Every structure is written in structure tokens, then in C-alpha cells.
Chains A and B, each alone.
Chain A
């Protein structure tokens, strides 16, 4: 096996990693934002239904009032999204890959035929959950004074969000997003657990034939890719360097 042949084979595998990486970002970045909206939702149907005056009386009941207040203020959308995020962040990505790949076949009798698609779904869900928390942190870090300054200048809520808050959120989330994105590059290798023919899988085929070095050689592909990403991310960060908050 010549060096060139090995490189060719590994590149074929790495193309799978790149596809997973690119498509995951493409879908997880917007999906994360939708999850953020859910986790920040203030929609509380009970408080809405119960007339204010009545609710005030209920809340004042001794001991029970405290519980009633919590029930009335229950925010179902916020609750469901946060439980979802907790599950996704609280379990290994490896396990999530297996669940997405096997559960449709086991439970619904429709086996996942496309392994890459199964991996993509797991990655998108997982990364969207992480991104959503980064977005939420970024939005919540914007001082209330920014919203209030916009409001007293007569701007509408959407104008305040898009013209004032959003740019500041971008600046704040770039470094943590950069970390996650670089982690994603390496995480794509986990897809081999469901037999996606990614680069490590390709290298393992050589190992099975007694050739060890291609396995270590794969590291070079990741390093190169992440080196490039680091440069791009650094460049984006610099774009936002012209001001400080």
C-alpha cells in the first residue's frame, strides 16, 4: 500500500466527515435558534386564562398560595424545551446516534437504511441543543438598559432586537460557537458507531490488514481542517473587534 493510495482512501472517508460537518452546521444553527425561542418562551396559558383579580386572591391563600402561584405561572413551552435540552445534553452523543439509527426499525418497523442520514439527524439535534444554550446565554447577557434605551427612543420590540441586540449577541456568541464548531469536526468520527464510512472507519480497514500507521495519519486531516477553521473563526472574531461592550 503506497502512501498515495492510503491518502486517497482516507480522503474518501474524510469527505463523509466534511459532509456531516457542513450539513450539521447548516441545519443546527437555525434549529438552535428555534429551540432558544422555546426555552425563553414566557407563554403561561393558566395565568392568561385566570383573570388577574381572581388569581391574586388565590395566591394569597396561606401555604397553598405558593404552590398555586407556581402552577399558574407554569410555562409549558419553556418547560418542554428545557427538558429536551437537558436530555440531549445529559446523554452521550454516541448513545443518541444509536437511538436514531436503531429505534425507527425496532419500534416502528421502518429500519434506517441511510446511515449518513441517521448520523446527520443525531448530530443536528445534539448540536442544535448546544447552540440553543449558547444563543440563550448570549441574549440574556445583553443588559436590560439596551432594550430600555431603544424603547424610550420609540423603537418597536422587533426593531430593538434586530437593530440593537442581535449584533451584540453575535459578538458574544462567536467564541463559544467557535469552540463547539471545532468540537463538531472531531465528533463526526463518532458516526462510525453506526458504520458510516468516515475517515476513522476507513483507517480501521487498513488496521485490520495489519497496517497501523494510517490510523495515526488521520490526525493530520483533522488538524489541517481545524487549523483552517481556526483561521476563519479568528478572522470573523476580528471583524467584530471594532467595538467593545
Chain B
């Protein structure tokens, strides 16, 4: 049974249909890359899966349990939503660190509040656990630095540690390196690679095709609110079946060569 199963998810803003029926499955330990030109609905999909938006139709099943149903979501209580939220972690394109807190405090803030509310428990002292997550992303020596004292790549890695520390079943990354220059991009990508090696289940929206090819177990190509094609990296990058996928990838190769 799939860890996550997304079925016929639809979302529109007013008259604009942004998601027109998205379905896919995620197995435990999979690394899925979502590619597609901008405006194709990738961010909206992530926002719906993380409950920053409510989808209009469709459902989301996690571990065999329906955690979102387009038919009944209006009846979910705030407490219920909060518990559903904690199944997933989301890393944003522009990090969204809390500027008034140090790297360590950024990680511990939610840990402490959730522990206090009895929603999560951690093995050992929260500060120690949080520092070990920061060490894992290579920032063990930056615990007391404020976000404004860190490079973009370091900030993004704090954001990754912050999400990881809550032990989500699936971690979502929305263009985690789009705000970074190439050098910093690589340090974040290598962090993602090491997470992939540790069997973290991840779904990553990215324009880094080489990374998608090397790391993913599955690639999804989205366009115009649909999943046009999905498959193994080999299938998508070397042998795309749909003409749309082909033209998207060829336009990508052209711009990369420029």
C-alpha cells in the first residue's frame, strides 16, 4: 500500500482552474521530483497537500487513512487540521526563517510548543536534538547565528533542519534552490542527496534537471494543472512519450546551454 495517495485533486481560484485533477502515489522512501514550467500549478499542489489551501475536490490518503476529503473538509476542526498538518513538512523557496530567532531557536520553537501541547515527543533534550539536526545539515557551528548572519544556502539548510526535526512522514520542497546562486545551490542539493540516502520520503519541485535525474526514484511532469507524464528518471528524461514533455525538456536543455 502506498504511503501517500493523492486522488483527483482539483483547485480553482475564482474562475481560474489551477489544478484540474491530480493523482499520484508515493511509496515509503521514494524521492519524487516534480518538474514543469512556471504557472503549471506545482506550488498550488504543494499548498493543497500541506493545507495552506483547501482543495475543492479530490482526496488525500495517508497510510490508508483519508486525511483530506474535498466533500467534507469544511467540517474539520482547527485541532484536527493541526494534527494532519504534522504528517508533512514543507520547505519554502524563500526559506521563511523567523528572523528574530537564532538557527537553533528556529528549530526548537515548534518542537517546544508541540511538546508542550502533547502533539510530539522527542528523545532527549529538545536543544540537543535540535542541534543534532543542524549538525546533520552541516550547521553544527552556526547554532547561535541569526538568519541575517547566514548565507542563503545556510538559511535554507536551517529551514530543512527545522522541518526535519518534527519527524514528518513526507518532506515537501518547493523549488528549494531557486533563490540561490549556483554555488549555494549545490550545498543545498547535496543536503537533499544525503537525506535521500537516508531514505527520507521527499517530494521536490525543482528546475535542477541533473539533480532530478540523479536522485529521484520518480519524476512527474506537470503542465496546465495536469500531470502530463510520470515515470522513472530514465523514462522521462531519455524517452519521454508525450510531445509536451519533450518540448519542455528540449527548451530546458537550450536554456541551460546558453
Chain A positions near chain B (C-beta within 8 angstroms): 143, 145-146, 148-157, 159, 163-164, 167-168, 171, 242-245
Contact = CB atoms under 8 A, between A and B. Distances in A.
Given A163-B109, A163-B113, A244-B148, A152 B90 contact: yes
A157 B113 CA distance: 12
Task: Please tell me the size bucket of the interface on B.
Answer: 20 to 34
A27 to B, nearest CB: 28
Contacts of B163: 152-153
Interface of B: 50-52, 78, 82, 85-86, 88-90, 92, 94, 96-100, 109-110, 113-114, 119-120, 146-148, 162-163, 166
A148 B46 CA distance: 12
A114 to B, nearest CB: 43
A149 B163 CA distance: 10
B14 to A, nearest CB: 11
A168 B92 contact: no
Given A146-B98, A148-B96, A163-B113, A154 B85 contact: yes
Contacts of A153: 109-110, 162-163, 166
A226 B98 CA distance: 34
B110 A154 contact: yes
A151 B85 contact: yes
A68 B92 CA distance: 38
A96 B134 CA distance: 57
A149 B51 CA distance: 12
18 contacts: A148-B96, A149-B92, A149-B97, A149-B98, A150-B110, A151-B51, A152-B52, A152-B85, A152-B89, A153-B109, A153-B110, A154-B85, A156-B82, A164-B109, A168-B99, A243-B99, A243-B147, A244-B148
B88 A152 contact: yes
A145 B94 CA distance: 8
A39 B120 CA distance: 37
A17 B216 CA distance: 70
B91 to A, nearest CB: 9
B96 A146 contact: yes
A219 B159 CA distance: 53
B86 A154 contact: yes
B92 A243 contact: no
A163 B166 CA distance: 18
B82 A154 contact: yes
Contacts of A156: 78, 82
Contacts of A244: 99, 148
Contacts of B146: 242-243
Please name the 4 residue pairs, one residue from A and one from B, whose CB atoms are nearest each other, closest first.
A153-B110, A149-B96, A145-B96, A244-B148
B107 to A, nearest CB: 10
Contact of A167 (B51, B100, B120): B100
A243 B100 contact: yes
Contact of A155 (B50, B52, B113): B113
A192 B148 CA distance: 49
Nearest to B52: A148
Nearest to B93: A145
Nearest to B120: A154
Nearest to A153: B110
Nearest to A166: B100
Contacts of B97: 149
A57 B92 CA distance: 37
A245 B146 CA distance: 10
A28 to B, nearest CB: 26
Nearest to A240: B100
Contacts of A150: 110
Nearest to A168: B100
A167 B120 CA distance: 25
Contacts of B92: 145, 148-149
